[in-house]
Amino acid sequence: MTRVWQWNRPVTVREVLEDLQQERSIAYTTVMTVMDNLHQKGWVRREAEGRAYRYTAVSTRAAYSAALMNEAWSTSDNPAAALVAFFGMMSAEQRDALRDAFRIVGYDDGSAAEPAAEQAEPAAEPAAEPAAEPAGPPDGTAARPPAATPSEPPPAEGDSAGRGAEPGR
């Protein structure tokens, strides 16, 4: 998946194979099996191109990471304690990224429990027009939840069951 996400375009088994072979020896059939497994699990879609397939990621790496974090948090018997422990492990850069994320989704400085748009303000007069929708992310794209992702992570490239291989290869 790392290669598919990095290239951000449809890729063939041959392209992934050639890239992986720069780092280690790996068989075409191994890469083909892993790509097929990723397709069967819903992580990539594929389109026929001649006698080969071109594979495209179904969701972004960010959506995948978010789904993993959400799954881990939701399986905790004490979600608040899990968050406290998680925040305690964060680097300064990660805390800055968290603050930025809070600003993007409409929370104030990250210390408020409710979105800034929902916090009470003193009402002077009733508005003549309905309130505008909250602004989306600063890049102008519409805010929407990440695409649904399968509950289990994709296997590592060297192993169709996801065991014993280096992660992210």
> Is residue 153 very low, low, confident or very high in pLDDT (cuts 50, 70, 90)?
very low
- In this predicted structure, the answer to whether residue 112 has a pLDDT above a threshold of 80 is no
Among candidate residues 44, 14, 47, the one with its CA nearest the CA of residue 28? 14
Three-state secondary-structure class, residue 90: coil
- In this predicted structure, the answer to whether residue 122 has a pLDDT above a threshold of 60 is no
d(CA 48, CA 54): 6
Which of the pair, 134 or 25, is modelled with greater confidence?
25
Which tens digit of pLDDT belongs to each residue from 36-55?
A: 999 999 999 999 999 999 99
Section 20-28 average pLDDT: 96
Q: Is 169 exposed, middle or buried (0-12, 13-18, 19+ CB in 10 A)?
A: middle
**What six digits make up the tokens of 163?**
């065991």
Long-range contacts of 137-142 (CB under 8 A, 24+ apart): 137/104, 138/104
- In this predicted structure, the answer to whether residue 166 has a pLDDT above a threshold of 70 is no
Which tens digit of pLDDT belongs to each residue from 50-76?
A: 999 999 999 999 998 998 889 888 899
> Is residue 106 very low, low, confident or very high in pLDDT (cuts 50, 70, 90)?
confident
Among candidate residues 24, 38, 7, the one with its CA nearest the CA of residue 162? 38
Structure pTM? Answer: 0.52
Query: What pLDDT sits at residue 25?
Result: 96
Q: Which of 33-37, 66-70, 100-104, 153-157 is the most confident on average? A: 33-37
Handedness of CA 6, 9, 155, 90 (dihedral sign): positive
> How high is the mean pLDDT of the chain?
74
- In this predicted structure, the answer to whether residue 109 has a pLDDT above a threshold of 50 is yes
Number of CB atoms found within 10 A of residue 86's CB: 14
For residue 111, give every residue at least 6 positions away whose Cβ sits within 8 Å of its Cβ, in sequence order, or none: none
Chain centroid to CA 154 = 13
d(CA 39, CA 49): 16
Section 80-84 average pLDDT: 90
For residue 108, give every residue at least 6 positions away whose Cβ sits within 8 Å of its Cβ, in sequence order, or none: 102, 116, 119
